[in-house]
Structures are given as C-alpha cells and as structure tokens.
Amino acid sequence: MLLTGTLLMAACYGAGALSSLLARWSGRLALGVGHLAVLAGATAGLGVSLGILLGTPGRALTRPLPALFPFARLSLSVDGLSAYFLLVISLVAVAAAIYGPAYLRAHSPDAGRARQAAQVFGLNVFLGCMTFVCCAGDALTFLLCWEGMTLASYVLVVSDDRDGENARAGLLYMVMTHGGTALLLVAFLALTERAGAFDFAALRAAAGGLDGTTRTTLFFLALGGFATKAGVVPLHVWLPRAHPAAPSHVSALMSGVMLKVAIYGILRFAFDLLAPVAAPLPSSWGWTVLVVGTASAVLGVLYALQQHDLKRLLAYHSVENVGIILIGVGLAMILWRREAAGGAVATVALTAALLHTVNHAAFKGLLFLAAGSVLCRTHVRNMEELGGLARRMPWTAGLFLLGAIAISGLPPLNGFVSEWLTFQALLGGASRFHGPAGLGIVFSAAMLALTGGLAAACFVKAFGVTFLGRARTPHAEHATEAPPSMIAGMVWLGALCVALGVAPGYAMRLLDAPTAGLLHGPAASAVVTARGPLVLSTALTPGATDATAISTTMLAALLIALTAMAWVLRRGSRRAPSRTAPTWTCGMSPTARFDYTATAFAKPLRLVFAALYRPRRAVIHETAGTPYVLRRIHYAGEVVDLAETQIYHRVQRGITALSRTIRLRSTGRIHGYIGFVLGALFVALLLFGVGQR
Amino acid sequence: MTGDRPLGLVLLEMILLVLLGPLVTGAIQKLKARLQCRQGADVLQPYRDLAKLLRKGTVQADTASGFFRSIPVLVLAATVAAGALVPVLRAGPSAFPLGDALMLLGLLALARFLTAVGALDAGGAFGGMGASREMTIAPLVEPVLMMVVFSTALAAGTTELGALAAHRGTSWIFAWSAADFLGFAAMLVLLPAETGRIPVDNPDTHLELTMLHEGMLLEHSGPGLGCMLLASHTRQIVTLGLVAALFFPVGPADGIGAADLLLGAGAFAAKILVLATYLALVESSYAKLRLFRVPQYLGIGFVCALTALALRIL
C-alpha cells in the first residue's frame, strides 16, 4: 500500500515533468496539468508519510530499485525521519500547487511557452528530487537526487525574469552549492570506499569501525556540504540573492522546504550514518552546530532588519530560522547519551528542532506566497514603493500578518511553541552542565531571545510599511486583491500555522517515529505531552516529569473570551458618534511622504548595531553657486553583509590577484610553456620519487 | 504538586490585576507629585479617565485600515491574558496549566507587536517614530528579562511562575544568594524600561522628541484609547507582579482558608507598593536618557543578569 503510494508519487512528478511538453500546444494547459500533477504527487506524499508516521512504531519501507548501474544497487528506504521530512515537503507542495498557476499567469502574462514549459518541468523535477533525497536508501540515489534538486532549482531561479541580476544570483547559487556538493561527495565516497557498497546499511556498518578522527573529519565534511545548502552563516551569501529571484511559490518551496532537506542530511549523518554504536557523539560536533546555529539566528535576523526588498527580507529570515533549528539539533547532539538516566532533554531538543522545521515551512511558505501576491499585483518588491495595501488586498494583508506573528515567535501561534520548546531544552541542557558549557548554552538562549525580539521588530516594519498607511506609488495605489486560488493556497498554510500553534500536542504523535528512531530513546509525545495532548510539559531536572507545563489551547480559549469582552468595552456607548478625519500632521495636508519609511524605521537599530552593520552612507549636497542655496540633496545608504565583505570579497580579491600573476607569466611563447611543463614534471618526479623510496 | 491554584482562583487573580492596574498608576503619579512638592491628582484619577474615554465617541484616521479598530481589543486581551499567568494571592502551579514566564513575556511581546502595527496604520510620522523606537528598545530589554527569569528558573528547575514563587518560599531577603541580588539589580534596571518610564520613556508627555509608547497611541481615541490605556496599566502591574513572583515570597501555598488569601492579598499589595515607590523615586530623580544612551543603560542590566547566571551555573 505504502509502496504503491511511493511509486504513485514518483509517477505523478514524472508525469508532471512530461506535461511540460503540452506547452507546445498551450502554455496555459501545461501550467494547469503540471501543477495538478504536483498536487497529486504531494497528496500521495502526504499519504505515504502519514501512513509511516502513524503506523506501527519502527516501521520502515525499503525497496530496491531497478539496477541502472552495474556497480551499485539503488534502493528506496523510508523510515520515520524520511517520512517526517516527506510530510513537510508535501504540506508546502500542496500550497504551491494550488497557488502556482494563477501566480505565474498573473505575474508574467506575456511569458513565452518555452519559459512556461521550463517552469513546469523545473517545479516537478525539483519536488520529485527533493522527496526522493529524503527517501533515498543509498548514497548514489541520494547524490543523484541532490544534484537534480540543485539543477532544477537553478532552472527555476533563472526562469523568472530575463534580467542580469537573476542570472548572477543563479550563478552564485550554482557555484556555492556545488562547492557544498563536492564536500558531500568526498564524505560519501570515503564511506562507500570502506563499505564496498552504496546502501546506507552498509555505510552504517562501515562507519562503526572508524576511528574518532576520521569520523569527525567525515562529519565536518558533510556538515560543510549541508550547511552550504541550508544557508548557515557564513555560507549563506547565495541565499538572499537566489531565493527572491525565483517565482514566489518556488521561493516558498526553496526557503520553506529545500533548506530542510539539508537539515535532514545533517540529522541523517550525525545520528544515523556516522553515530558511534553506543557512545555519545563527539562533543565537538554538537558544539559546532550549536555555535553556528546561534550565529546564523542572530546575524540572519539582523541583516533581515535592514532589507527593504520584501522577498530578500524573508530570505534572510530563513537564515535565522535555520539557525534556530540548528540550535535544537546541536543541543540534541550535545546531550544525546550524555544525560543521567531518566533525562529526556535530548528528546525535547530534537522535538523542538523538528517542530520548528514544519513550523518554519508553514509560516515562511505563507509569507513568501503573500509577498508573491503583492509582487504579482504591484510588480514591486521594494517596500518603500508600497504601502496602503491592507485596504486593497485585505486577505493577503491578514494572512501576511498571521505569518508575521507566527514567525516572530509570539503566542498563540506555532512559532511560539517550537521556540518555547527550544528554550526549555536549552534551560534543561544548562542545568545539566556546570561551568562554561552551561553558561554557553544559556548565552545561546539569551541570543535566541534577542532573535525573537528583533524578528518582531522586523515584521512590524515589513507589515507596516508594505500594507499600512498610504500608497506611496501608483503601483501600490492600483493594486487589487489576488485571485481566489492564490488566496486558497495561502489559507492552507495559514490554517497550518494556527493548528500547529493552538493544538501542538496532536502534532507530537507525528514526531514520535523520528525522535524515537534517531535517539533510540523515549518518543516525543511521551516526553512532551505526558499530561495529555492539550498540555505541553517538560522537566528541567530528571525525575520530575511535568515541572513546567503550558497549554496554548487553553490560552487561545482565554484570549478569545477576553477579546470578546474587550470588544464590548471597545464598542463603547451607542450614542457617542464615530467619525473619520485625516491623520494629524501638524497642520499640513497629509501625503504619503509623512508615512514612516522602512529605512527610517530600522535606523535606530542600525545605529545600535553599527559595529555589525558597518553602514555606509553618502550625502551629496548640490548647491547653486553659493553654499547657501541648496538645490538637491542626494542620500545613499547601504548595509553590506559582513560575511561578504570580510570573507568573500577577500577570497575574490585573492583569486583575482593570483590570476593576474598567472597572466603575467603566460607570455604566449611556446618555449616558455614547455619550460613550465618541464619544471612541473621535475618537481613532481622529485616529490613522488622521494615518496616511493 | 498539581492543583495548588484552581482555575477559579487564577481567573480571580487576573480580574484583580486588571482592576488594580489603574490604581498603581494613580499611586505612582501621586507619589511623584508629592516628591515634586505638588498636590497632584487624586489616586483614582486613572479610573475617571478610563470611564470618560469609554463614554466618548471615536475619531479614526481616514487612511487607517480595517485592522485599526481591532488593535486595542487584541492588545487588551493579550495583556489581560498575561495577567492570568501571575501568581497573586497564592504560590504554586495552577490546576490547569496555562503558561509560564516565557508565555507571559510572549503575550506582552504580542501586545507590543500589535500596538506598533496599529501605530503605523494611521500613516502619521509620530506613530512610526514611536513604533520604531519601541521596537528598538524592546529587543534589547527582552533577552535581559529572559536571562533574569532563567537565573531564577535554573535554581528552581522550572519556568512556571507559580512554582518559582513556591520555590522562593516565604523566606525573605536573608535567604538570597549573590545571584539573586544581581538578578534583582538587573530587574530594577529593566523595570523602568518595561513599564515605559523615565529614564527610558516618559509617560507624561506627548512631545515627539521624548515619547515612545505615547507616540503609538496618538491616533487612538475614545473607547479604543481607553482599551489601550487599560492595557498599559495592566501591563505595568503584570510586570511588577512578575518581579514580585520572581524575587519576593508570595502567600503560602498550603491552606485554602480566607485568612491565607487575605494574607496573600496584603503581601501582594505591600510588594507592589514597594516597587511602585521605587519607580516613582527613579522617575523623580533622573532625567530621561537620549534614545541612543538607552542601550548602554540596558547594558548595565545585561552585565548584572549575565553575572547572576554565571554565578548560578559555575
């Protein structure tokens, strides 16, 4: 049954990819059929993953694939962890499939058939490869699907507009992600060489015999590869360029889901393939992940604050949220098999990370889709040129606000639940370690609190400047509400945000299989929902099972009751008149110039964190003859990513300088080159000759 | 262990906090006036203001969106819900868990988020200025506040406020460790920031150079403004209640009798009065800081909180 579902999923995505051929006759038909295939594939994916997650514990689906290569047996293997990530992918894919056709038609009505065919093909291949990365049962399938995912997403990134910026973003994405894939390839090949086979079971067995140093080296190679894909600081520079360039529903998939596939890879390597048989993971692994996670969370949100491009801002928030997920993952790695008996903080940490994975997919997907609605109605991504959209696009605005509250980690929505669990895990971890380790964990908790506060500030800015106040340009003035099918896609993800926030206890059952499977310990629901599905509880000290307990369900009920009461108060007395009047602007007639801009809103924080931002600004006064008559003032301000200037630009300068030196030597005279070849041969012979003896 | 505070008691405490919120503001205003050798308004003046506002009509900005009308309602609901999480009369975890200290801070942050969104809605520069400044200060206050909570939570092994208060027991300052003193010092630094008072904010002025929170309320009027004011009174007493629960003993957890509850109520009134006096003293003896000095001021709190945590863990 489940096997049929998996094959059905593959068939749907395959058929969807082939349906791009329909564009020969009608681009519209190709779009429709292609997205319908995505919807069918995602539904099949939901079925398979729920079947495994809710089925008998420990159930896994393994299936050999037809032998395509003489040297490797390809296979599929879907265990709890795979099924969970399959669920996350399918949930967002459903929304993208509903949203996509109307968006592509509205955003670029004059797109040629070739572009539409490429988009349909790319989307199906992208989703198919992503699902099968998670379902891969051997290294070769994993790497092939991983590469397919990268290439398909590259096609989608460069497909949207024919301008140079998209192409540059795509190129950077391609280079960075292939650097990461190279690291992965080394890690996988080192393992397969020892195992003599490609399937994961053999790799696991081979890793059992590794010594500590090799194991750690392999882990860091894999971590480097996956971290590039996940957009972890400082490997994130491609992300804020590539994600906004893709069509919005693809941005939702890339930010909401593709980064999670990298998280899946980290979890698979750390807890499954490379984990020692009965010993804890080397402590350097967990601490590295915790530190880069914390750094990503803080730096991601700080850079997001200074972005005025709506989609780019959201892309930086993905860096932040991946950081939050990695905090949970790192903590689970540190604590696993290191706690006293009866402790389950590692489970809480992993639960928090996995829950934040699905939560981030839901709210970031929602926010990207809402940003896409704005984009396709105004064709503007710069917030400073928007404004006043809440009156013209009420559904989009309301759903964006919902996503904004969720991503800021505010109760009673889903972002709060997973951040609460992360905090509890961090506190639990801190109370188990004394000394600097404990202090480091608590410091990470404080940074997480800072991240939450800054995210709230950022989304007040993003929502307020985009949707509230007056329209700043005609683009925003003539906007209309998005078509119903796009709203339906957003409502699906918005409903997920509310459901996972108000009743998170019911979602814990889905986390049982991955947590118990990875940690070989108690399952998530046994630890976190020990007091029934309505109450989340954790214990900071072993023994006490329910020391801290919250119930977002009860709280949501209380909030609704209080809102009803406050509404009565707000209505006031019926006799008093209610009227509208222009906003007070000190006696001048109000225009859109009075609205606070995004730059101004973020200015105080830019000054507070100036050490990190190193803001650049140039003010040029244009005067008429004397300095007392000002004709015009030019103002240009910019915040650059510290990783770009401090690392990438230096590397780039180094490479340029090196190639310049090489160019000086390449004179074009043939005997010069022969001399170089002879010299190189001599040196090589000398080196290897010494090695032989 | 479970069920020291039945749901009825929790709701009663919540209502008590909402009703007493304006009184605390009135008491602080009266104290400030006396310290400045003025007669000052009556302590009940905030109630009269609220009653007046709730009877008046509203004037809404013509640029405001549909969200604007519901902002005061949601802000008030979130703040009052935070009030349900503070132990007032008796310590101990509540019978049915609602939320812990992190949830309380989250609800206050939700109220702040919605207030700031409402401030940008009317499209005036004052609202934007207030929102921008408030959202600059808030992310700096929140982590330090969390660290203070953590430093107490690590000793008690829970973040549930009722249980934290129960862990504090009836012991007074004599049982405090160095970490408690430092945590309390951090809290005293943060308190004016979190309640929107000098030296961080000035609640008495509508001058654009000084205001944070007041700037965000400019476009609200009538019952809406009444809700926002009631929310800020409640926010103030909830914050004071949080400090009281973290550092002072709450009434005894055992005993259900009326005498115990009365004792708890008396103790609560005394604690709030002490903290209110502190706020009034600080407001009367310091000038408001420049906005870009505030991070340095909060830095003192951060150092205290970090040291408290270090002492607790090392």
- Exposure of A308 in the CB half-sphere (CA atoms within 13 A): 19
pLDDT for the residue numbered A60: 81
Residue contacts between A and B (CB atoms, under 8 Å):
307
| Inside any domain, residue A501 | yes
B14: closest CA of chain A, how far (Å)? 11
State the pLDDT at residue A691: 61
Residue A227 has φ and ψ, to the nearest 5°, of -65, -30
Of residues A342 and A257, which shows the higher confidence score? A257
Question: CA–CA distance from A416 to each of A299, A378, A444, A645, B153 (Å)?
Answer: 20, 32, 17, 34, 19
**Minimal Cβ distance to A562: which of B54, B62, B81:** B81
| Residue B260 or B206, more confident | B260
CA distance to A69, A428, A432, A569, B261, per residue, from A335 (Å):
41, 10, 9, 50, 43
For residue A171, which amino acid is it? L
**The two three-digit tokens of residue A437, written as one number:** 């380790």
Q: Which percentage of chain A shows pLDDT scores above 90?
A: 67
Q: Do the chains contact at B97 and A409, CB–CB below 8 Å?
A: no
Give the residue among A423, A421, A403, A540 at the shortest CA–CA distance from A463: A403
Report d(CA B180, CA B161) in Å as an integer.
16
Residues comprising chain A, all counted: 693
How many domains does chain A contain in total? Answer: 1
- Residue A172 is assigned to a structural domain of this protein: no
**A278-284 — which CB contacts under 8 Å span 24+ positions?**
A278/A337, A279/A337, A280/A336, A280/A337, A280/A338, A281/A333, A281/A334, A281/A336, A281/A337, A282/A212, A282/A215, A282/A216, A282/A219, A283/A334, A284/A216
Question: B-chain residues within 8 Å CB-CB of A468?
Answer: 65, 67, 117, 120-121, 123
In the prediction, which pLDDT does A11 show?
93
User: With an 8 Å Cβ cutoff, are A411 and B107 in contact?
Assistant: yes
Is the torsion defined by CA of A571, A577, A580, A586 positive or negative? negative
**According to the model, what pLDDT value does residue B2 have?**
43
B227 with A569: Cβ contact below 8 A: yes
The one-character DSSP state at B314 is -
3-state class (DSSP) for residue A459? helix
Q: Where are the beta strands (DSSP E) in A2-156?
A: 61-64, 75-78
> Residue A90 is which amino acid?
S
Which residue did the predictor score with more confidence, A345 or B254? A345
C-alpha distance from residue A326 to each of A12, A496, B14 (Å): 33, 22, 38
* Pairing mode, strands A578-581 and B58-61: parallel
Give pLDDT, residue A67. Answer: 80
B164 and A CB contact within 8 Å:
no
Query: What percent of chain B lies above the pLDDT cut of 70?
Result: 95
pLDDT in tens, A80-135: 999 999 999 999 999 999 999 999 999 888 878 888 999 999 999 999 999 999 99
Residue with tokens 């529903």: A249
Which chain B residues have a beta carbon less than 8 Å from that of A501? none
In chain B, the residue whose alpha carbon lies closest to the alpha carbon of A450 is: B143
Task: Measure the CA–CA gap between B285 and B208, rounded to whole angstroms.
Answer: 22
The predicted model gives A151-179 an average pLDDT of 89
Segment B278-287 shows an average pLDDT of 93
CB contact under 8 A, A447 and B143: yes
Q: Which tens digit of pLDDT belongs to each residue from B171-226?
A: 667 778 899 999 999 999 999 999 989 888 888 877 766 678 888 998 899 999 99
DSSP A479: -
> B73 touching A, CB under 8 A?
yes
Residues of A in contact with B98 (CB under 8 A): 550-551, 554-555, 558
d(CA B212, CA B205): 10
C-alpha distances in Å from residue B36, one per residue of B22, B139, B204, B206? 21, 33, 14, 20
- Chain A nearest-CA distance from B53, in A, is 9
Q: Which amino acid is at B160?
A: E
**Digit-coded pLDDT (tens) for A222-266:** 999 999 999 998 999 999 999 999 999 999 999 999 999 999 999
Inter-chain CB proximity B81 and A468 less than 8 Å: no
Kindly report whether the peptide bond that precedes residue A64 is cis, defined as omega within 30 degrees of 0.
no
Q: Is the pLDDT of residue A219 over 90?
A: yes
pLDDT of residue A385: 93
Tens digit of each residue's pLDDT (9 = 90 or more) over A608-641: 998 888 888 888 888 888 888 888 888 888 888 8
The owner of tokens 């749901």 is B7
User: What is the per-residue DSSP string for A623-647?
Assistant: ESSSTTSEEEEEEEEE---HHIIII
- Greater confidence (A59 vs A472) lies with A472
Question: What pLDDT band is residue A554 in, cutting at 50, 70 and 90?
Answer: very high
Which residue, among A570, A371, A559, A614, has the nearest Cα to A482 in the 3D structure? A371
Token output for A558: 């209380």
- In angstroms, the CA A254 to CA A304 distance is 17
**Residue B252: what pLDDT?**
59
The span from the CA of B314 to the CA of B311, in Å, is: 6
**Closest to A462 in 3D by CA, of A600, A320, A307, A605:** A307
d(CA A472, CA A597): 10
Taking CB atoms and an 8 Å cutoff, what residues of chain B touch A401?
Answer: 67, 117
Indicate if the alpha-carbon torsion angle B211, B216, B221, B227 is positive or negative. Answer: negative
Distance, CA of A339 to CA of A345 (rounded, Å):
8
* Residue of B63, B110, B150 lying closest to A411 (CB–CB): B110
Q: How far is A584 from chain B, CA to nearest CA, in Å?
A: 7
- Residues β-bridged to residue A635: A619
Is B217 in the A-facing interface, judged by CB distances under 8 Å? no
Per the CB < 8 Å rule, is B96 touching A551? yes
B227-254 pLDDT, tens per residue?
A: 999 999 999 999 999 999 888 877 655 6
The token pair at A248 is: 């919005």
* pLDDT computed for residue A543 by the predictor: 59
Annotate A167-227 with DSSP letters as a single string: HHHHHHHHHHHHHHHHHHHHHHHHHHHHHSS-BHHHHHHHHHT--HHHHHHHHHHHHHHHH
Is residue A487 in a domain?
Answer: yes
- H/E segment holding residue B173: none
Distance CA B91, CA B209 (A): 42
Burial of A567 from C-beta contacts in 10 A (0-12 / 13-18 / 19+): middle
Q: In chain B, what residues touch A594 (CB-CB under 8 Å)?
A: 123-125
- Encoding tokens for residue A350? 């992993």
CB contact (8 A) between residue A581 and residue B62: yes
> Is B160 in the A-facing interface, judged by CB distances under 8 Å?
yes
Using a CB–CB cutoff of 8 Å, tell me whether B289 touches chain A.
no
Q: In the prediction, which pLDDT does B168 show?
A: 80
Residue B157 forms contact with A (CB below 8 Å)? yes
Query: Cβ-count burial of A211 within 10 angstroms (0-12 exposed, 13-18 middle, 19+ buried)?
Result: exposed
Query: What is the least distance, in Å, from the CA of A488 to any CA of chain B?
Result: 21
How far apart CA A641 and CA A638 sit, in angstroms, is: 10
Q: Helix (H, G, I), strand (E, B), or coil: what is residue A112?
A: coil
Pairing type for strands A548-550 and A61-64 reads unpaired
Q: How confident is the model at residue B170 (pLDDT cuts 50, 70, 90)?
A: low
Answer whether A445's CB lies under 8 Å from B150's CB. yes
Greater model confidence, B1 or B117: B117
Q: Which of B100, B135, B218 is facing A457, going by the closest CB pair?
A: B135
In chain A, the residue whose alpha carbon lies closest to the alpha carbon of B152 is A427
pLDDT at position A487 over 70: yes
The range of the structural domain enclosing residue A493 comes to 288-564
**Confidence band of A542 (pLDDT split at 50, 70, 90):** low
Interface test with A, best of B54, B102, B217 (most A CBs within 10 A): B102
Is the pLDDT at B279 greater than 70, yes or no? yes
Q: In this complex, is the C-beta atom of B252 within 8 Å of any C-beta atom belonging to chain A?
A: no
A453 closest CB neighbour out of B138, B159, B218 = B138
B124 vs A contacts (CB less than 8 Å): 583-585, 590, 594-595
Residue A290 has pLDDT above 90, yes or no: yes
Residue A58's H or E segment, with its range, is none
Which has more confidence, A350 or A571? A350
At A576, the pLDDT band (50, 70, 90 cuts) reads: confident
Per DSSP bridges, beta strands A616-623 and A630-638 are antiparallel
Is the pLDDT higher at B96 or at B119?
A: B119
Rg of chain A, C-alpha, whole Å: 27
Residue A325 and residue A351: Cα distance in Å, rounded?
10
Which residue of chain A is at minimal alpha-carbon distance from B231?
A566
Nearest to A562 among B77, B153, B160 (CB): B77
The verdict on a CB contact (< 8 Å) between A596 and B122 is no
- More confident position, A327 or A686: A327
Of B77, B61, B65, B213, which Cα lies nearest the Cα of A570? B77
Strands A548-550 and A536-538: antiparallel
As a whole number of angstroms, the distance between CA A507 and CA A533 comes to 9
Name residues 74-103 of chain B within 8 A of A (Cβ).
Answer: 74, 76-78, 80-81, 84, 93, 96-100, 102-103
* CA-based nearest residue in chain A for residue B65: A391
Q: Which of A302, A548, A584, A585 to mutate to test the interface with B (most CBs of B within 10 A)?
A: A548
Q: Which residues contact B282 (CB under 8 A, 6 or more apart)?
A: B192, B197, B198, B199
Give pLDDT tens digits for A62-76: 888 888 888 888 899
Closest-CA distance of chain A to residue B236, Å: 18
The pLDDT confidence band at residue B256, using thresholds 50, 70 and 90, is low
Which chain B residues are Cβ-neighbours of A421 within 8 angstroms? none
Residues of chain A neighbouring B295 (CB-CB closer than 8 A) = 608
> Distance (Å, rounded) from C-alpha A428 to C-alpha A423?
8
**How distant is the Cα of B58 from the closest Cα of chain A, in angstroms?**
5
Lowest-confidence pick of A157-171, A483-497, B10-24, B287-301: A157-171
Q: Where are the alpha helices (DSSP H) in A306-388?
A: 310-335, 345-378
pLDDT of residue A393: 95
Q: Please give the mean pLDDT across all residues of chain A.
A: 91
